[in-house]
């Protein structure tokens, strides 16, 4: 089955840039979505179709991909960005949905 690998944690100072990676075999050929989850809340999509933002999501959040890595970039990090972030895709080979293990972003 398809596996998405994320670092467990990323720490960043306010105003700096956080980069959250999501590794997967040939992920560059897949469509990747990103979710933010704050404590006690359900996840919310923050990036869909690799680099589109839903209404209300600031331009500071962006997505990108290379051959085997997708990246969520949070520029000018704010305290409110502190959350868990999950990448996700649909695996057409199995018709299953795969989530990364999640990355906890801590704002120092």
Partner 1 sequence: QVQLVQSGAEVKKPGASVRISCRSSGYSFSSFHIHWVRQAPGHGLEWMARINPSDDTTTYAQNLQGRVIVASDTSTRTVYMELSSLRSEDTAIYYCVRSKDIVTYFDLWGRGTLVTVYS
Smallest separation (angstroms) from partner 1 to the CB of 78: 23
Smallest separation (angstroms) from partner 1 to the CB of 59: 19
Residue 45 host element (H or E): strand 44-47
Joined tokens for residue 36: 């933010």
Residues that bind partner 1 (CB under 8 A): 1, 31, 33, 35, 42-45, 48-49, 54, 86, 88, 90, 92, 94-102
Q: Are strands 9-12 and 103-107 parallel, antiparallel or unpaired?
A: parallel
Of the pair 88, 107, the CB lying nearest partner 1 is at: 88
DSSP code for 76:
S
Smallest separation (angstroms) from partner 1 to the CB of 21: 15
Of the pair 17, 96, the CB lying nearest partner 1 is at: 96
Report whether 88 contacts 98 (CB < 8 A): yes
Smallest separation (angstroms) from partner 1 to the CB of 43: 6
Of the pair 1, 80, the CB lying nearest partner 1 is at: 1
Joined tokens for residue 69: 């890595």
| Half-sphere exposure in the Cβ direction for 18 (13 Å, CA) | 28
Of the pair 18, 33, the CB lying nearest partner 1 is at: 33
Reduced to 3 states (helix: H, G, I; strand: E, B; else coil), residue 79 is helix
């Amino acid at each position: 089955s398809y596996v998405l690998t994320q670092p467990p944690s990323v720490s960043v100072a306010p105003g700096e840039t956080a980069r959250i990676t999501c590794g997967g075999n040939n992920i560059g050929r897949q469509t990747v979505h990103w979710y933010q989850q704050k404590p006690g809340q359900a996840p919310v999509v923050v990036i869909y179709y690799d680099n589109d933002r839903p209404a209300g999501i600031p331009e500071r959040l962006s997505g990108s991909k290379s051959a085997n890595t997708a990246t969520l970039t949070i520029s000018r990090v704010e305290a409110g960005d502190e959350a868990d972030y999950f990448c996700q895709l649909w695996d057409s080979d199995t018709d299953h949905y795969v989530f990364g293990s999640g990355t906890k972003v801590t704002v120092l």
